[in-house]
Amino acid sequence: AWTYRLRTGRTVWDSLLRHYQRGLDTVARMRKTWAGLARYVDPQRFRLTADFLTIQQHNAQWWRDASIAYWESISHLPLPPAIAPSPFPLKAYEAFCIPYVAGTPGGKPPCAPDDGPVPY
């Protein structure tokens, strides 16, 4: 049950949501740490890694928001005050298509054009 209390004292629901938030918070800390290392790394390597960390944070935000939208639709429970809601409804995440990139396993065709909102 979603309201079952774990040994931590938190409910299953609260623990699940905090898990996704922690993932996003971890990447934000990684970016902050990396930003403080600029003087120790050559500019090209620093910029490349900073760019990859930006992508990682973007993906972590998408994953957190999509996951919370999904679990919220299953549990039908309100979000705790400390957890921000997903900016898009679950249907927007379900309709999201990752464009085909040459060499991707499965060889899926490109996404069909869509006029709807794109989550990120």
Summarised one tens digit per residue, pLDDT across range 21-48 is 999 999 999 999 999 999 999 999 999 9
73 pLDDT exceeds 80?
yes
Task: Look at the chain and report how many structural domains it folds into.
Answer: 1
In a domain, 53, yes or no: yes
Domain-embedded: residue 104: no
DSSP calls for 37-83:
TGGGS-HHHHHHHHHHHHHHHHHHHHHHHHHHHHHHHHH--PPPTTS
Q: Has residue 43 been placed in a domain? A: yes
Task: Tell whether 24 is covered by a domain.
Answer: yes
**Residue-level pLDDT at 97:** 77
Structure tokens at 53: 């960390």
Q: Which of 23, 30, 13 is nearest to 79 (CA)?
A: 13
**Domain, as residue range, for 90:** 12-95
Whether 118 maps to a domain, the answer reads no
The answer as to whether 101 is a domain residue is no
Global pTM? Answer: 0.80
